[in-house]
Amino acid sequence: MLTMTTLQRLWKASPPLTAVGSVMVGVFAASLAALAIDRSTILGAPTWLKPAKFAVSSAIYAFTLAGIFTCLPGWPRLTSRVGWISAVVLVLEVGIIDLQAARGITSHFNAGTGLDAALFTIMGIAIVVLWVAAIVLTVALFRQPFADSAFGWALRLGMLVTVLGQATGGLMTAPTRAQLDLARSSGLKVSGAHTVGAPDGGPGLPLTGWSTAHGDLRVPHFLGMHAVQALPALAWLLTPVGSIAGRRRLVFAAAAVYAALFAALLVQALNGHPLVPMMVSR
């Protein structure tokens, strides 16, 4: 739970990110309310589930970046630019997702009409810009000295794995063979998918929707993107334990395990295997 003091610190570090994070909490609450009222579905999933997930994810990312900025006092110009770029992209992405949900259609991979294709293209370009900003921030973290080297390495390695996790989103945007075959007769209506081995929209896990019958690139994407929260949180929990050198070794070990798990889940998804296979009645 963010206290008023914490919000004030985050606001001082990055007003745009703190504002966007706060707004996204409200958007998340509104999406939950819409979930309770609107029982419609898109590709078998509740219409407002995806907007809710992206809103809360955007809030977490915005607050996390603002928190990282407090550790980079000597980089005011860089943090200001990264903050504004990230804030604008997050608003744009969630805005398009909510707009398409309100229209009752998918936001990602949708090339059904000129408008839908344009919106998806805008989302793709915006995410690349966000990714480049994250890379720049990662470089700054590797150049920034930290009094607590264990926490510093947790931030650096966490952000590095997060950048790799963000990059997996690009694997979802290429048209599948089935989509290209269909495009020859009726034009390209869907370009890309997060499911490997089947069209999107099949049986999935509760809440996440991750496929239980085929590979799903959202699994490694999710794990990788949240390394920047998980590893620093571990370093913080280890603060009372042992020396800085000992905690630093634990952080390196945890980062190696986390990165290996991310790589294993990525290979699993690309090979078409689900995270949790379930028998699906035919």
Share the mean pLDDT of the chain: 92
- Check whether residue 123 and residue 234 sit in a common domain: no
Q: What is the pLDDT of residues 76-88, one digit of tens each?
A: 999 999 999 999 9
- Check whether residue 177 and residue 84 sit in a common domain: no
- Check whether residue 125 and residue 177 sit in a common domain: no
* Of 144, 173, 207, the domain-final residue: 144
Q: Using pLDDT thresholds of 50, 70 and 90, give the confidence band for residue 36.
A: very high
Q: What is the pLDDT of residues 226-269, one digit of tens each?
A: 999 999 999 999 988 788 889 999 999 999 999 999 999 999 99
Q: What is the pLDDT of residues 1-15, one digit of tens each?
A: 567 788 899 999 999
5 falls within a domain: no
Q: Using pLDDT thresholds of 50, 70 and 90, give the confidence band for residue 279.
A: very low
Q: How many CB atoms lie within 10 A of CB 226?
A: 20
Domain total in the chain: 2
Domain residue limits at 199: 147-282
198 falls within a domain: yes
Position 129, amino acid: V
- pLDDT at position 244: 87
Any bridge partners for residue 41, and if so which? Answer: 46
10 falls within a domain: no
Per-residue pLDDT at 220 exceeds 80? yes
* Of 144, 165, 184, the domain-final residue: 144
84 falls within a domain: yes
122 falls within a domain: yes
Per-residue pLDDT at 281 exceeds 60? no
**Between residues 193 and 51, which one has the greater pLDDT?**
51
6 falls within a domain: no
Rounded mean pLDDT, 210-235: 95
* Of 100, 127, 144, the domain-final residue: 144
Q: What is the pLDDT of residues 183-201, one digit of tens each?
A: 677 777 777 889 998 888 8
Task: Give me the numbers of helices (H) and strands (E) for the chain, helices first please.
Answer: 10, 4
Q: How far apart are CA 159 and CA 145, in angstroms?
A: 15
Which residues touch 13 (CB under 8 Å, ≥6 apart)? 66, 67, 69, 70, 79
- Check whether residue 273 and residue 151 sit in a common domain: yes
pTM for this model (two decimals): 0.91
Q: How far apart are CA 146 and CA 72, in angstroms?
A: 9
Rounded mean pLDDT, 92-102: 97
